[in-house]
């Protein structure tokens, strides 16, 4: 049975959480494959509203085994706090597993994230401050600590001590900051290791075996395809491979073992943090989407920048990742507008182009070329079937489908689970 991948096709916050919650119900395993506590995936269910940061969104479904795979960077302090809070609020999975290959985010990574951002000044990226860049840097430099290291407590504390001492050298000599208390951190890490150890296993081997047994595995993306370290608008990206290739690398599964790929796209665009955003709406129009869409970061609370649907950037995401179907979310946010716009090309230095430039400085000069469509000026919140959508909303979805070259399987018209139209089975194996 091929694995299903669900990922975001924009700069994050496409409503992946809702889509994953919806689809994970049917799966045996729900595995996060990239990123760390920089993610904020919102799920609204009978227990309340949840913003998942590291824990996979399907954790509430009985029988689903949530896992974190090798490509995730695990912040043990934040993970333990998140699991404890979820337990208090009704999530009691029988099992929860973390890959022994996953790297750790330790407190010095978070500290260094802040110093690096301060040092960038006007070139800052607007990171979430969760230590993601420094943790993936250590991983690539082969200086990282892995979750599996926690299984040998004596060696683990030695490694923590050594890494913290080195981090302190940077903190004091390069940034002029206060060193971390090495002994306190070592003690803290030993405690986290005791608590995390029972969750550690060879997640990737488990998943390959599950796929051989024909079980349904849903691989959960974080961030969005436009924030991918390679494919995204570098340097305004995150530090992981958020696309489908990242899922294969993280899980150690052959590319041919991936089946359904569901790409979540909002019906407009948002972006948190810095970086080029050709269709960004400034002034009242942007404020309108911010307000109606309640566009505040689920992790940092920062207001999200908002703009019209960018078919050039979205199509690029699909070209890079492939998609067997699309989940178009937040359609309802556009409900009361007189017209809606789709960016179908860019004008860059007087030339019309229909591709996403690889350089962020070039993308920053892109002027959007819009196609206008009539608005529908009525609520879609209560629509549950295609026929219940106003015809102008149907035309908007069909146009997105046409421009993306992929069918829409899900239309979301509100944050709640039932505010969803399923047009075809998103998990059907192609």
Q: In the complex, which residues of this chain contact ligand GDP (CB under 6 A)?
A: 8, 12-18, 40-42, 44, 293-294, 298, 329-330, 332-333, 412-415
Does position 307 interact with ligand IMO (CB under 6 A)? The reply is no
Does position 298 interact with Mg ion (CB under 5 A)? The reply is yes
Kindly tell me which of 2 and 126 has the beta carbon lying closer to ligand IMO: 126
Query: Which residues make beta-bridge pairs with 326?
Result: 263, 408
Could you give the CA distance from residue 318 to residue 400 in angstroms, rounded to a whole number? 12
Could you give the CA distance from residue 248 to residue 245 in angstroms, rounded to a whole number? 5
Kindly tell me which of 58 and 224 has the beta carbon lying closer to ligand IMO: 224
Active site residues: 13, 41
Query: Which DSSP category does 58 fall into?
Result: G
Kindly tell me which of 203 and 225 has the beta carbon lying closer to ligand GDP: 225
* Cβ pair 105, 130 in contact under 8 A: yes
Does position 40 interact with Mg ion (CB under 5 A)? The reply is yes
Does position 272 interact with ligand IMO (CB under 6 A)? The reply is yes
Does position 330 interact with ligand IMO (CB under 6 A)? The reply is no
Q: Which of 113, 107, 105 is nearest to 129 (CA)?
A: 113
Phi, psi values for residue 210, rounded to 5°: -65, -40
Does position 146 interact with ligand IMO (CB under 6 A)? The reply is no
Which one of 19, 20, 31, 39 is in contact with ligand IMO (CB under 6 A)? 39
Which one of 34, 128, 321, 420 is in contact with ligand IMO (CB under 6 A)? 128
Positive or negative, the CA dihedral 372, 376, 382, 388 is: negative
Least gap, CB of 129 to ligand IMO (angstroms) = 7
415 binds, among Mg ion, ligand GDP, ligand IMO, none (CB under 5 to 8 A by kind): ligand GDP
Which one of 9, 246, 273, 278 is in contact with ligand IMO (CB under 6 A)? 273
* 135-142 contact pairs (CB < 8 A, 24+): 135/36, 135/73, 135/103, 135/104, 135/105, 135/106, 135/109, 135/239, 136/73, 136/103, 136/229, 136/239, 136/240, 137/239, 138/103, 138/109, 138/163, 139/73, 139/103
317 binds, among Mg ion, ligand IMO, ligand GDP, none (CB under 5 to 8 A by kind): none
Does position 8 interact with Mg ion (CB under 5 A)? The reply is no
Least gap, CB of 294 to ligand GDP (angstroms) = 6
**How many residues at the interface with Mg ion, by CB under 5 A?**
3
Could you give the CA distance from residue 281 to residue 73 in angstroms, rounded to a whole number? 33
Does position 132 interact with ligand IMO (CB under 6 A)? The reply is yes
* Cβ pair 103, 146 in contact under 8 A: yes
Does position 40 interact with ligand IMO (CB under 6 A)? The reply is yes
Does position 126 interact with ligand IMO (CB under 6 A)? The reply is yes
Query: Which DSSP category does 202 fall into?
Result: -
What region does 42 belong to: left with phi over 0, alpha with psi -120 to 50, or beta? Answer: beta
329 binds, among ligand IMO, ligand GDP, Mg ion, none (CB under 5 to 8 A by kind): ligand GDP
Kindly tell me which of 317 and 329 has the beta carbon lying closer to ligand GDP: 329
Least gap, CB of 218 to ligand GDP (angstroms) = 14
Burial state string for 203-222 with b = 16 or more CB within 10 A and e = fewer than 16 = bbebbbebbeeeebbbbbbb
Least gap, CB of 298 to Mg ion (angstroms) = 5
Which one of 71, 224, 260, 307 is in contact with ligand IMO (CB under 6 A)? 224
* Cβ pair 97, 58 in contact under 8 A: no
| Gyration radius (Cα) of the chain, Å | 21
Give the three-state DSSP class for 260: strand
Binding site for ligand IMO (CB under 6 A): 8, 11-13, 38-41, 125-128, 130, 132-133, 222-224, 227, 238-239, 272-273, 298
């Amino acid at each position: 049975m091929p694995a299903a991948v669900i990922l975001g096709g924009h700069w994050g916050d496409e409503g992946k959480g809702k889509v994953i919650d919806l689809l994970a119900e049917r799966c045996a395993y729900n595995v996060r494959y990239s990123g760390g506590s920089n993610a904020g995936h919102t799920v609204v269910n009978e227990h309340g509203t949840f913003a998942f940061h590291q824990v996979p969104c399907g954790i509430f479904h009985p029988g689903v085994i949530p896992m974190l795979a090798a490509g995730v960077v695990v912040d043990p302090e934040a993970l333990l706090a998140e699991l404890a809070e979820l337990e208090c609020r009704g999530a009691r999975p029988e099992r929860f597993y973390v890959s022994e290959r996953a790297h750790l985010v330790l407190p010095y990574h978070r500290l260094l994230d802040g110093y690096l951002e301060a040092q960038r000044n006007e070139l800052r990226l607007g990171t979430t401050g969760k230590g993601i860049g420094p943790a993936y840097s250590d991983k690539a430099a082969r200086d990282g600590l892995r979750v599996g290291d926690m299984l040998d407590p004596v060696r683990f504390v030695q490694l923590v001590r050594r890494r913290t001492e080195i981090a302190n050298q940077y903190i004091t000599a390069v940034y002029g900051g206060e060193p971390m208390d090495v002994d306190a951190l070592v003690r803290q890490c030993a405690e986290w290791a005791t608590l995390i150890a029972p969750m550690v296993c060879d997640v990737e081997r488990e998943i390959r075996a599950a796929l051989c047994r024909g079980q349904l595995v849903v691989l959960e993306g974080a961030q969005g395809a436009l924030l991918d370290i390679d494919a995204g608008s570098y340097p305004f990206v995150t530090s992981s491979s958020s696309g489908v290739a990242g899922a294969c690398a993280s899980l150690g599964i052959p590319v041919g073992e991936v089946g359904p790929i569901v790409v979540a796209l909002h019906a407009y665009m948002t972006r948190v943090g810095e970086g080029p955003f050709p269709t960004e709406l400034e002034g009242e129009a942007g404020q309108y989407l911010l307000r109606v869409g309640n566009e505040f970061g689920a992790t940092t609370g920062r207001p999200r920048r908002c703009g019209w649907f960018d078919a050039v950037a979205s199509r690029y995401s699909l070209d890079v990742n492939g998609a067997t179907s699309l989940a178009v979310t937040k359609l309802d946010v556009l409900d009361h507008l007189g017209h809606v716009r789709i960016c179908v090309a860019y004008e860059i230095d007087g030339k019309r182009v229909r591709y996403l430039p690889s350089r962020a400085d070039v993308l920053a000069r892109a002027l959007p070329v819009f196609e206008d469509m009539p608005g529908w000026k009525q609520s879609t919140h209560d629509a549950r079937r295609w026929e219940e959508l106003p015809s102008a909303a149907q035309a908007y979805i069909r146009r997105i489908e046409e421009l993306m070259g992929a069918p829409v399987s899900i239309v979301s018209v509100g944050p709640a689970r039932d505010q969803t139209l399923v047009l075809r089975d998103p998990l059907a194996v192609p």
